[in-house]
Structure 1
Amino acid sequence: MSSSSSTRLSTILFVGVASFLILQVYGQRNPFFSQQQNRQQPLAQSNQPTQKPILKSSSQCPEPYGRFPTSQCDAYIECIDGQAEEKLCADGLLFNPAAGIHAFPCQYPIDVDCQGRTTLQPAQATEDCPHQYGYYKIGDSKNCGQFKNCVDGRAFVFDCPEGLAFDETKYRCDWADQVADCDAEAYLGFTCPQEPDARSGLGFSEYRYFRSPVDCSKYFVCVEGRPRAYSCGEDRAFNDLINACDGIENVTGCEPSPSVVAYQKSSNVKPVNLNQQQKQQSSFQTQRRG
């Protein structure tokens, strides 16, 4: 075989191999060409993400990511990349669908709307708490000033500020007359005197002030006939002539007894200014040198 014939044969073989490789690469990168070559491979498969198997759950994901309510108010579905996992809030907390993605999903009942989701898990009561978590009033309608915070079944007891009552529907301390299940008169130990206008059916005036009959430093403001308790503080008394707190010595009937005044005077330490103190130290040092 001549050299020219060998050259032509090599060129033909090279072109053939190159064409075959180009077709293979083009077929792998072109879905349409691949479909024509293999009808068993659908066109859509190259454009769809691979579906991961869903975890064993009776629920499906409405969206690939997020938390979604169920028929039970203290349960929810958490979906991550299309995988659904049913979760249960701690006893006493409820799932809040309105909570943001960065917020804790289980919250206190006053913050959650359970409309259409009335089912709850059985209560896990302890000796001190009706549920594992929550805020609960202590005492009856005549003793409204204490509440407890239950955390993991343990109760931590708190006192409302003086004169306020715990409102279990709002999780806060409020005026006793504003708390539905608190008897403000019995709790505060004071009943607002009835006005002549009230007897005639014209109603109460908006605000009235009364000094406490047992403690000069305390007084009551009657709002629409219901009492609210206030305090003037130490060494102060409520002066009903001006309807305000005043120095205790200015309020008739509230002055401290002579024995108390004498004790206060005897126990008071006279202040020493800087110059006197320096003179005392100088005199003491001079005596030591002598």
Structure 2
Amino acid sequence: IVHGAKRVPQDAVSDQCPEPDGFFADAEQCDKYYQCSDGHITEKLCPDGMVFNDYSTEYEKCDLPFNIDCSARSKLQSPQPSEHCPRKHGYFAHETHNVCDKFYFCVDGKYNMITCPDGLVYNENAGICSWPDEAKRNGCSSEEVFQFQCPKVDEAVAATHPRYADPEDCQYFYVCINGDTPRRNGCKLGQVFDDQSKKCDWARNVPECADWYKGRLTDVQLAELENPPTPRPRATKVSKRKHQRPRAGDDILV
């Protein structure tokens, strides 16, 4: 999708097309590009918030900024902001710097707020949800998001990415990457983290968390999670069609 196209006088730019036909990026502005047709050049702009994808001169494509390297042509058109949308199109972090797990998806200046899965934050450089240590956002470090610090360990233990129980939630635990960067993980429903074995186990097997699901799951539900019922085999339907003798003139296969 493009807009803002304008025809540049032919006598002024006829020698500026690198090739007679194709789409070419502007040397300085990442959301500006040119269409050349039989040597005639037309200047174009991507929609606000998008930039020109210069991977191929055969295709006219505007893309999201985190998919394109704009370091050599960093200029952009003036923004057209609206509520929660710094530009008309794109993905944008929440305005409050320490609200790390929410971001906005904007299309034509209209926003939709998205929440990352538990334990992840919005990564402005990639346009996706990722671990806090990968996103590297101010106010959204692993320690700030999880309120947990990995215990100091020697290099041998650190290399194993040690695990520690979440002190507030039996179902969750922290994996300390290289011994110092926490990432929050969870056990499946019905299980808790055993801080002795460093593995997930059924709640009844971990004394300090045996009652963790009390009031949320019944004993019957917990038993079914641990030993799911075997599905009954489907009954085979017997055909009720009557066998008929071949009639005279019918072909008989042998």
Contact 2:89 2:106 in 1 (8 A): yes
Task: Tell me how far 1:204 sits from its aligned partner.
Answer: 3.9
Contact 1:216 1:254 in 2 (8 A): yes
Contact 2:190 2:213 in 1 (8 A): no
Task: Tell me how far 1:231 sits from its aligned partner.
Answer: 0.8
Q: How does 1:188-207 map to 2 (within 5 A)?
A: 188-195=146-153, 197=154, 204-207=158-161
Contact 1:143 1:187 in 2 (8 A): no
Q: How does 1:208-219 map to 2 (within 5 A)?
A: 208-219=162-173
Q: How does 1:49-60 map to 2 (within 5 A)?
A: 56=9, 59-60=13-14
Contact 1:139 1:146 in 2 (8 A): no
Give the 3-state SS of the residue equivalent to 1:253 in structure 2: helix
Contact 1:219 1:231 in 2 (8 A): yes
Task: Tell me how far 1:193 sits from its aligned partner.
Answer: 1.8
- 1:239 aligns with 194
- 2:124 aligns with 168
Q: How does 1:225-236 map to 2 (within 5 A)?
A: 225-236=180-191
AA aligned to 2:151 is P
- 1:130 aligns with 86
| Residue-by-residue CA offset, 1:78-124 (whole Å, 9 max, x unaligned) | 0122222111111111112223524x421122222335433321111
Task: Tell me how far 1:171 sits from its aligned partner.
Answer: 1.4
Is 1:221–2:175 an aligned residue pair? yes
- 2:38 aligns with 81
Alpha-carbon distance between aligned partners in 2 of 1:73 and 1:239, rounded to the nearest angstrom: 52
Is 1:149–2:105 an aligned residue pair? yes
- 1:159 aligns with 115
Alpha-carbon distance between aligned partners in 1 of 2:64 and 2:57, rounded to the nearest angstrom: 15
AA aligned to 2:136 is A
Consecutive unaligned residues in structure 2, runs of 5 or more? 1-6, 233-254
| Residue-by-residue CA offset, 1:101-151 (whole Å, 9 max, x unaligned) | 24x421122222335433321111112200111111226554321221111
Task: Tell me how far 1:260 sits from its aligned partner.
Answer: 4.3
| Residue-by-residue CA offset, 1:147-179 (whole Å, 9 max, x unaligned) | 211111111211222111111011122111222
Contact 2:22 2:57 in 1 (8 A): no
101 and 94 in structure 1: CA distance in 2 versus 1, 3 angstrom threshold: same
- 2:65 aligns with 109
Contact 2:23 2:57 in 1 (8 A): no
Give the 3-state SS of the residue equivalent to 1:207 in structure 2: coil
Alpha-carbon distance between aligned partners in 2 of 1:126 and 1:157, rounded to the nearest angstrom: 14
Contact 1:75 1:95 in 2 (8 A): yes
Q: Which moved more, 1:113-122 or 1:145-154?
A: 113-122
Contact 1:141 1:187 in 2 (8 A): no
Structure 1 counterpart of 2:18, from 59, 62, 70: 62
Consecutive unaligned residues in structure 1, runs of 5 or more? 1-53, 275-290
Contact 1:67 1:76 in 2 (8 A): yes
CA-based RMSD? 3.3
AA aligned to 1:149 is F
| Residue-by-residue CA offset, 1:177-236 (whole Å, 9 max, x unaligned) | 2221122112112221223x37xxx99444111111111111111112111000102111
- 1:185 aligns with 143
